[in-house]
Amino acid sequence: MHLLVTGGAGFIGSNFVHTTVTERPDVVVTVLDSLTYAGNSASLDPVLDKIDFVHGDIADLDLVDELVSSVDAVVHFAAESHNDNSIADPWPFLQTNIVGTYSLLQAVRRHDVRYHHISTDEVYGDLELDDPQRFSESTAYNPSSPYSATKASSDMLVRAWTRSFGVRSTISNCSNNYGPYQHVEKFIPRQITNLIDGVRPRLYGAGKNVRDWIHVDDHNSAVWAILERGEIGQTYLIGADGELDNRSVVEMILEAFGREPDDFDFVSDRAGHDLRYAIDSSLLRSELGWSPKFGDFRSGLGSTVEWYRANEDWWRPRKAATEQAYVDQGEVEQ
């Protein structure tokens, strides 16, 4: 099998490429990535001799058409992925997440190539803290941020291309990922690298927002299950029953550094901040026999802390600019 992996120099995509190359040596991998501020070619260094890397934009119709013409399947990770950035400047999210997906869909349609679309639970909006319901495949779309609205738009394009043009697609909507190679703008790496730098973690609002954490390797094993055994036209929700509020996560990170549980600062809240995400992944588990391997968040988090301690060369060049962007976006202590 020859796979085109878009966004393979990003967090989830690079982890996907690492495990694919290790566990499936028969799969030929081509990565297409434009190396935005979020892409890092160093994330692919461990596998560079085993893949083809193409530096380019998913919205480049001619380039995408040429690459898709010679593969068996596309796994589409590439996106503008950070909510705070989408609030500061939505345009790149429309261009990459909507126009870029359009470009890939036209190519897989023309060449009749299998397509898997990586999406997010944020397309469903948010839940009250005490709501007994979780998101499922039948939950209505209700995105809150420019980021999640563009991801919802891209999902809708996939559904339309599948119904109208017979594209052989599947979609997965996953909850919050953690693990190695995640950009320091995101919640967990930001707090870990702050603590390495002697800076107190920063919690938005009251720290009560809940996210449903899953290790990135569990996300990617689910993607492979869907790619190999998923029903064409089906959406699958991916989650590992990992609901935790942000304050609890910060307290666990502080514990890993031997610090007091209240050694953090509250800062200004995110505009439109979704309160809670929660995934019901029963369909994926019952239909495809998938289950997560990283049951224990605390130990997965501990390994992630160790990874950032051991790989300062990877994240250090991006840290100062990331913190400056938060200052420029108006983040202040409460």
User: Residues in the site for ligand NAD, rule: CB under 6 A?
Assistant: 6-7, 9-13, 33-36, 38-39, 57-59, 77-81, 96, 100, 118, 120, 151, 174, 176-177, 183
Residue of 14, 120, 162, 235 that binds ligand DAU (CB under 6 A): 120
Of 324, 314, 40, give the one whose Cα is nearest residue 192: 314
* Residue 219 near ligand DAU by CB under 6 A: no
Parallel, antiparallel, or unpaired: how do β-strands 214-215 and 265-267 relate?
A: unpaired
* Residue 187 near ligand DAU by CB under 6 A: yes
Beta carbons within 10 angstroms of residue 7's beta carbon: 27
Closest-by-Cβ residue to ligand NAD is 10
Q: Which does 83 bind (CB under 5 to 8 A by kind): ligand DAU, ligand NAD, none?
A: ligand DAU
Parallel, antiparallel, or unpaired: how do β-strands 114-120 and 169-174 relate?
A: parallel
Nearest approach in angstroms of CB 3 to ligand NAD is 15
Local structure of residue 130 (DSSP, 8 states): T
Residue of 68, 167, 203, 237 that binds ligand DAU (CB under 6 A): 203
Do residues 273 and 210 touch, judged by C-beta distance below 8 A?
no
Phi, psi of 150, rounded to the nearest 5 degrees: -75, -35
Q: Which does 190 bind (CB under 5 to 8 A by kind): ligand NAD, ligand DAU, none?
A: ligand DAU
- Which residue, 98 or 113, has its beta carbon nearer to ligand DAU? 98
Catalytic residues: 121-122, 147
Enclosing H/E stretch for 238: strand 235-238
Tell the residue number behind the tokens 């995934």, with chain if given. Answer: 279
d(CA 326, CA 74): 34
Judged by CB under 6 A, the stretch of 2-10, 117-125, 158-166, 213-221 that binds ligand DAU is 117-125
- Which residue, 33 or 51, has its beta carbon nearer to ligand DAU? 33
Reading across the β-sheet that carries 52-55, which strands appear in turn?
52-55, 28-33, 2-6, 73-76, 114-120, 169-174, 235-238
Q: Which does 187 bind (CB under 5 to 8 A by kind): ligand NAD, ligand DAU, none?
A: ligand DAU
* Residue 211 near ligand DAU by CB under 6 A: yes
Phi, psi of 14, rounded to the nearest 5 degrees: -70, -40
- Which residue, 174 or 305, has its beta carbon nearer to ligand NAD? 174
Judged by CB under 6 A, the stretch of 80-88, 97-105, 110-118, 228-236 that binds ligand DAU is 80-88
- Which residue, 58 or 305, has its beta carbon nearer to ligand NAD? 58
* Residue 176 near ligand DAU by CB under 6 A: yes
Phi, psi of 38, rounded to the nearest 5 degrees: -90, -20
Q: Which does 305 bind (CB under 5 to 8 A by kind): ligand DAU, ligand NAD, none?
A: none
- Which residue, 162 or 175, has its beta carbon nearer to ligand NAD? 175
Burial of residue 310, with CB atoms counted within 10 A of its CB: 0-12 exposed, 13-18 middle, 19 or more buried: exposed
Do residues 114 and 230 touch, judged by C-beta distance below 8 A?
no
Burial of residue 327, with CB atoms counted within 10 A of its CB: 0-12 exposed, 13-18 middle, 19 or more buried: exposed
Closest-by-Cβ residue to ligand DAU is 120
* Residue 85 near ligand DAU by CB under 6 A: no
Of 64, 61, 17, 73, give the one whose Cα is nearest residue 42: 17
Residue of 277, 294, 308, 315 that binds ligand DAU (CB under 6 A): 277
Residues that bind ligand DAU (CB under 6 A): 81-83, 120-122, 175-176, 186-187, 190, 202-204, 209, 211, 246, 270, 277
